[in-house]
């Protein structure tokens, strides 16, 4: 599934540059964290993770950086939880299970999944992506 990898500083630098991002210390640090754990993380998660490490990074920078990474296609925003945005270092096409009760997000490999019959886009629109979220609930813990 997701490949957990450690990148060298040089690889990370190249990765950012390839996406048109100036590789500052903070951005490298955040990128390192994101790709090392290869999970769905919130901005708050990143903020806490980055501040257990050597270099402290401010909350504003965490938000700016995640926004920048997402805008440049280095990571992907996942809007599934009404409370917060998740960021996904996996940019390969894939979908998500979302546990409504716990907020847990899990990948669904896009391989094998087919979506057909979508109508043509409105005039002048470009598709940014298709999000598929399968909402789940553990049936042994009933709603009410």
Partner DNA sequence: AAACCATCTATAATCATTCTAAATCGACAC
Partner DNA sequence: GTGTCGATTTAGAATGATTATAGATGGTTT
Of residues 45 through 64, those in contact with DNA by CB under 7 A are 55-61, 63-64
- Interface with DNA includes 72 (CB under 7 A)? no
**CB of residue 33 to DNA, shortest distance in Å:** 14
CA 40 remoteness from chain centre: 6
Distances (CA, A) of 101 to 54, 58, 90, 113, 138: 35, 31, 24, 25, 8
User: Quick one: tokens of 92?
Assistant: 């390969």
Cβ pair 62, 43 in contact under 8 A: yes
Return d(Cα 43, Cα 137) in angstroms, integer.
25
**CB of residue 43 to DNA, shortest distance in Å:** 4
132 binds, among DNA, its own copies, none (CB under 5 to 8 A by kind): its own copies
**CB of residue 118 to its own copies, shortest distance in Å:** 6
- CA torsion through residues 19, 20, 24, 26, sign: negative
Among the residue ranges 41-49, 102-110, 111-119, 131-139, the one whose residues contact DNA (CB under 7 A): 41-49
Return d(Cα 13, Cα 23) in angstroms, integer.
6
- Interface with DNA includes 13 (CB under 7 A)? no
**CB of residue 79 to its own copies, shortest distance in Å:** 5
- Interacting residue ranges for DNA, rule: CB under 7 A: 22, 24-27, 42-44, 55-61, 63-65, 67, 82-85
């Amino acid at each position: 599934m997701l490949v957990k990898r450690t990148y060298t500083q040089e690889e990370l630098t190249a990765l950012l540059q390839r996406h048109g991002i100036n590789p500052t210390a903070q951005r490298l640090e955040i990128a390192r964290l994101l790709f090392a754990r290869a999970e769905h993380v919130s901005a708050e998660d990143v903020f806490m993770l980055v501040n257990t490490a050597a270099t402290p990074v401010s909350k504003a920078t965490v938000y700016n950086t995640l926004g920048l990474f997402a805008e440049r296609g280095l990571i992907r925003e996942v809007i599934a939880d009404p409370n917060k945005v998740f960021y996904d270092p996996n940019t390969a096409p894939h979908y998500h299970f979302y546990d409504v009760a716990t907020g847990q997000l899990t990948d669904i490999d896009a391989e094998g999944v087919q979506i057909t019959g979508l109508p043509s886009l409105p005039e002048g629109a470009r598709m940014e992506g298709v999000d598929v979220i399968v909402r789940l609930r553990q049936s042994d813990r009933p709603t009410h």
